[in-house]
Amino acid sequence: MSGSTDDIETLIDLMAKLPGLGPRSARRAVLHLIRKRSLLLSPLSDMMSRVAVSARECLNCGNIGTSDICDICESEKRATGELCVVEDVADLWAMERSGVFKGRYHVLGGTLSALDAVGPEELRIPRLLDRVVSEEITEVILALNATVDGQTTAHYIADQLQGRVKLTSLAQGVPIGGELDYLDDGTITAALRARKEL
């Protein structure tokens, strides 16, 4: 029906499954790829197959990288004692782009949700409580999204850690209902600088 043949059709269908691409934009992307075969299509295919083999979650913090322990957890330049808790790897990357936080991260992998039956065990919360003790953490920054589920999760974690470490949360700049990954770097910087104790 589309005038293209099987392999190309299959490629379009696969591309259309990417977030942010629909059937039409997938077709345009595939035509663009075919026109830029040596500059884009082949390098992209090679890099995808490398990443398919090498990508893994950091056993310590949940960040995605190419080794069992990610670069941030391994780096000796990162401040020990400060732990920034985020929902998702995309949020960690957004924090890193702002460049203002020098400690380490902990990626929960989602938020608590009664509706979806996501409890603390489904997230990386037990591991967080372990790390606070084993890494002698003095401050936990709860950088969760300003959504209902994000704030519920922040309160739950705060309850668990109350009195054991200094607890802070991102302050000004995070709009109600907003998500970290969509914020500009300046807003993230301002919010981190003005963090307030719970």
Binding residues for a copy of itself (CB under 8 A): 1-8, 10-11, 14-15, 17-21, 24-25, 27-34, 36-37, 40-52, 54-55, 63-67, 70-72, 88-90, 92-93, 95-97, 99, 105, 181-182
Closer CB to a copy of itself, 71 or 164, in the complex: 71
Residue 125 CA to residue 58 CA, distance in Å, equals 15
Residue 72 CA to residue 102 CA, distance in Å, equals 10
Residue tagged 């595939």 (tokens): 30
Closer CB to a copy of itself, 106 or 161, in the complex: 106
**Least separation, in Å, of the C-beta of 198 and a copy of itself?**
25
DSSP-based three-state secondary structure for 190: helix
Residue 107 CA to residue 60 CA, distance in Å, equals 9
Residue 100 CA to residue 192 CA, distance in Å, equals 8
Nearest to 180 by CA among 78, 74, 108: 108
**Least separation, in Å, of the C-beta of 30 and a copy of itself?**
8
Structure tokens at 170: 């991102």
**Least separation, in Å, of the C-beta of 14 and a copy of itself?**
5
**Least separation, in Å, of the C-beta of 117 and a copy of itself?**
19
Closer CB to a copy of itself, 45 or 162, in the complex: 45
Helix (H), strand (E) at residue 160: helix 148-161
Closer CB to a copy of itself, 8 or 118, in the complex: 8
**Least separation, in Å, of the C-beta of 33 and a copy of itself?**
7
Q: Where are the beta strands (DSSP E) in the chain?
A: 56-57, 64-65, 82-86, 104-107, 139-142, 166-169, 196-197
Closer CB to a copy of itself, 48 or 171, in the complex: 48
Closer CB to a copy of itself, 1 or 115, in the complex: 1
**Least separation, in Å, of the C-beta of 128 and a copy of itself?**
18
